[in-house]
Structure 1
Amino acid sequence: MAKIVLIGAGSAMFGLGALGDIFKSKTLIGSEIALVDINKEALENVETVTRKYIKDNGLDYRITATTDRTKALPGADFVLISIEIGNRYELWEMDWNFPLHFGIKQTYGENGGPGGIFHSLRIIPPILAICGDIEALCPDCLVMNLSNPMTNIMTAISKKYPKLHVIGLCHEVSSMLTHLPKILQVPFEDLDIRCGGFNHFSVLLSAKNNKTGEDVFNEIMHKAPAYFAGTEERGLFLEIMKYFKRIPITTDSHFSEYIHWSQEVADHAGIMNFYTNYKKECLGHQVDMYDRLQSGTMPEEYWRVVPIIEGILNNTGHEELAVNIINNGYISSLPEDMIVEVPGFVDKEGVRGINIDQIMPLGFSNLLMNRVGVLRTCAEAAIQGSRELALQALLIDPTNNSILQTEKLLDTIILHQKKYLGYLK
């Protein structure tokens, strides 16, 4: 039993998916679930569906709903954050297309490159405001961030509120649950794997068969090119396997956002197909609200929120495949203040990372190092409201190929997104 606050609960994808997972948990029976969203109509829709589902199934949960998070936060044990700012897709398409109009090559524009910086500069200030309320009203709770750009947001939180207990969660690693059993023809339960890097910029590092004790990483690498050949969104993906001898845990849409030569090899048609389908689903064309609540999150998107909460409450001591936390030496080739995606250990003390230093190859770790300056500078630009630092972050980003157009691009984006970026002075 716990008090769980869902901030961004009005989203049919996030709010109802998270609630569906919670309602499947025996550990959480009797818990209080506080729904929070600034969109009153969306919040009321989720609340209505939730109350009907609870009544239909005779469940024992206390549900509250409010547009004022300060009323929901006191006494919270766990706070989940999954928000977006403004018209998500209108702004995203600006982030993606404006740099291209200025001759700056980027492949996607959500988390990395100039588009990822603009996205970060919009969403970090409101998330920091949420974290300020958490620190004031429920400082001992565990905060779970599911918003993107994950690493940029988490970097800013760790700098502004270093005492908060915060982890970031992303479902991308679940791709390994799909692919590895097919590559090896063994159940995933028989495998022990390690992945790591930054969120959306992470790779498979090791694998062994638990039943036989055999190291199967080389077998995976031998069979993977044929398995993935011809599949959508895997142009850059295949080049990473070829030159860096590791398998990305995500596809070109995300992985390509961080690499300066990705424009040449990324599967652009596949990325566009992914975006189009993702936009359609998230806008609700494929979402039956009651069914979404009943189903919860599917294996391919499972956020692992509930297993982590259960692990803390029940002191399970289990491992999670991927959590986003401050480095603390888990990858020693990266600075201590970086937010890294590594396996995690969960017990009554919370979530701790698992060291993957010995299996992190030099070449890939240096691809990660190319991101360090961007992450630090972007976070500080948002914290300080500094246009100068925002401009410097754009100039530091390795995917930016133009110094002469960058300032014009920044001023154009600020003009068109003044409501969200006008704070940059």
Structure 2
Amino acid sequence: MSFKIAIIGAGSVGFTKKLFTDILCVPEFKDIEFALTDLSEHNLQMIKAILDRIVEANRLPTRVTATTDRRKALEGARYVISCVRVGGLEAYADDIRIPLKYGIDQCVGDTICAGGILYGQRNIPVILDFCKDIREVAETNVKFLNYANPMAMNTWAAIEYGKVDTVGLCHGVQHGAEQIAEVLGARSTQELDYVCSGINHQTWFIDLRLNGRPIGKDELVAAFEAHPVYSRQEKLRIDVLKRFGVYSTESNGHLSEYLPWYRKRPDEITRWIDMSDWIHGETGGYLRHSTETRNWFETEYPQFLEAASKPIDREKRSNEHASHILEALETNRVYRGHFNVKNNGVITNLPQDAIIESPGFVDRFGINMAAGIMLPEACAATCIASINVQRMSVHAAISGDIDLLKLAVLHDPLVGAVSTPEEVWQMVDEMVVAQAAWLPQYAHAVPAARVRLSTSQVKTREWAGAARRSVRSIEELRAEKAALKQAG
């Protein structure tokens, strides 16, 4: 087989390498072309050198090109994969820093909440640019695989306004299944059969079986509470399981941002989170992790390049969906996964225009979703609250309507639990002004926002959050890694 895959945002070096090696685990794909594109020539050259080293070490005919010219990379592509972070860590820092001034403490801030909504405003104009190029220069039946957050908003914009065949991909379901398999004493997730459905980062294991035996709420609660690690790290997630009756795919820290109950007061935040790793609820945890990862990679690049000289181990192919989808589409080997698509009747008690995440099967005829799923009422209610925010956020990003953007932020569950309308209006003005370089659709609104900020009487505070950790230096990371290696 010979076809072309374009990866936009290929400068996300570690993730691009994973996608690349996963795809090359499919024997029929050895003769394909990977076209890498990114705004950073520096990052492009780093990842190209790594991928070239993999190709050379495995004696493959695979072709790898790299260019900052996106349209050139997209020319003739059958598949386009996006893993972009518009605004980079600079804009992301504002997504965390500015809401903190108004009492809004986020762990990740990339899906909804104040940070996720603004992230979507930065991404959507760029996503539409991608879609325009894809329609004009890629293969006629091209498929767009979006890995970038905010997943639902990006996918919604690409399908509804970009008019490109798009599927959103995430690994939250797989990670949740791994946890469940572990607490139930399964040897692997192969022993689990489950239906997991909802919206991205709010998907729910609504049917769970271990070797064919149904697993109920009480058994699952007992298994998690008996686990020596998860009982400590996933306190909030276990509490939601007790109250809702089903387990959520998303991590303790992520899940806490989508609900109005657990992060609205500092003392409540510290009660429910765990500081052993960023993902369990730390203030700005993913920003810290992303910053450390970038610094680590830049410093340790020679070691990453050397590791690329090893043969590809097909047994270590990851459970990221992309390679399995491509394999199913091209070879007709059926793949079952969980995909982000427009609802259209898949989940009966969620809005039809929403982007849902639910089970589907892939073969040469495409992605075929299992339809007619009904969520438990509490799960549906939680998802609908987020969907309403996502819909307004997408429409605001398309129209450049700053008043609609403020209403979207106001209706966010956590923001509404913490902030007054006056605070929300000022916070959005402040975020739009700070991020104006990445928000072209709001250029007309920035001058008036500046004037309002200069005369506002709304008080703010400089607050690091309830549970903030400092970014660790390279030396600290090395010492920690050495200590873990010695202990292990």
TM, length-normalised to structure 1: 0.91
Aligned residue number for residue 400 of structure 2:
385
1:417 to 402, 421, 435: 435
Q: 1:192 to 1:292 in 2, by over 3 A?
A: farther
Q: Which structure's CA Rg is the greater one?
A: 2
Q: 1:176 to 1:117 in 2, by over 3 A?
A: closer
Aligned residue number for residue 181 of structure 2:
181
Aligned residue number for residue 463 of structure 2:
none
1:309 to 316, 326, 351: 326
Counterpart amino acid of 1:67? T
Q: Matches of 1:293 and 1:62 in 2, distance apart?
A: 17
Q: 1:374 to 1:143 in 2, by over 3 A?
A: same
Aligned residue number for residue 273 of structure 2:
267
The C-alpha deviation readout for 1:130-171, integer Å capped at 9, x for no partner, is 011112222411110000111111122222024x21101111
The C-alpha deviation readout for 1:15-34, integer Å capped at 9, x for no partner, is 22211212222121111111
Q: 1:298 to 1:339 in 2, by over 3 A?
A: farther
Counterpart amino acid of 2:253? S
* Residue 258 of structure 1 pairs with residue 255 of structure 2: no
Q: 1:292 to 1:193 in 2, by over 3 A?
A: farther
Displacement of 1:394 in angstroms is 1.1
CA contact (8 A) 1:197 1:341 kept: yes
Q: Matches of 2:318 and 2:253 in 1, distance apart?
A: 16
Aligned residue number for residue 80 of structure 2:
79
2:340 to 324, 328, 340: 324
Displacement of 1:116 in angstroms is 0.9
Displacement of 1:307 in angstroms is 0.8
Displacement of 1:374 in angstroms is 0.8
**Mean alpha-carbon deviation: is it higher for 144-153 or for 68-77?**
68-77
Q: Matches of 2:405 and 2:5 in 1, distance apart?
A: 35
**Mean alpha-carbon deviation: is it higher for 347-356 or for 294-303?**
294-303
CA contact (8 A) 2:25 2:317 kept: no
**Mean alpha-carbon deviation: is it higher for 142-151 or for 228-237?**
228-237
* Residue 248 of structure 1 pairs with residue 248 of structure 2: yes
Q: 1:337 to 1:234 in 2, by over 3 A?
A: same
Aligned residue number for residue 479 of structure 2:
none
CA contact (8 A) 1:107 1:268 kept: no
Aligned residue number for residue 346 of structure 1:
362
- 5+ unaligned residues in a row in structure 1: which ranges? none
SS at match of 1:319: strand
SS at match of 1:158: helix
Q: 1:292 to 1:353 in 2, by over 3 A?
A: farther
Considering only aligned residues, what root-mean-square deviation do their CA atoms show, in Å? 2.5
Q: Matches of 1:298 and 1:45 in 2, distance apart?
A: 26
The C-alpha deviation readout for 1:93-147, integer Å capped at 9, x for no partner, is 3212211212345454222211111111111111111011112222411110000
SS at match of 1:110: coil
For 1:173-212, list aligned pairs within 5 A.
173-187=173-187, 188-210=189-211
Aligned residue number for residue 227 of structure 2:
227
Counterpart amino acid of 1:318? Y
For 1:276-287, list aligned pairs within 5 A.
276-285=288-297
1:368 to 378, 383, 396: 383
For 1:45-124, list aligned pairs within 5 A.
45-88=46-89, 90-104=90-104, 106-124=106-124
Counterpart amino acid of 2:281? I
- 5+ unaligned residues in a row in structure 2: which ranges? 446-488
Displacement of 1:190 in angstroms is 2.1
The C-alpha deviation readout for 1:191-223, integer Å capped at 9, x for no partner, is 21111111111121111234xx32124433442
Q: Matches of 2:440 and 2:128 in 1, distance apart?
A: 17
Q: Matches of 1:118 and 1:298 in 2, distance apart?
A: 39
SS at match of 1:404: helix
Counterpart amino acid of 1:54? V
Q: 1:180 to 1:252 in 2, by over 3 A?
A: closer
Q: Matches of 1:365 and 1:152 in 2, distance apart?
A: 18
**Mean alpha-carbon deviation: is it higher for 36-45 or for 258-267?**
258-267
Q: 1:298 to 1:158 in 2, by over 3 A?
A: farther
The C-alpha deviation readout for 1:227-247, integer Å capped at 9, x for no partner, is 377645423212211110111
Counterpart amino acid of 1:184? L
CA contact (8 A) 2:51 2:308 kept: no
Q: 1:304 to 1:283 in 2, by over 3 A?
A: farther
Give the fraction of aligned pairs with identical amino acids, expressed as a percent: 28
* Residue 236 of structure 1 pairs with residue 222 of structure 2: no
Q: Matches of 2:404 and 2:282 in 1, distance apart?
A: 31
Q: 1:299 to 1:155 in 2, by over 3 A?
A: farther
The C-alpha deviation readout for 1:238-279, integer Å capped at 9, x for no partner, is 221111011111212211221111213541644228533454
TM, length-normalised to structure 2: 0.80
Aligned residue number for residue 467 of structure 2:
none
Displacement of 1:324 in angstroms is 0.8
Counterpart amino acid of 1:159? E
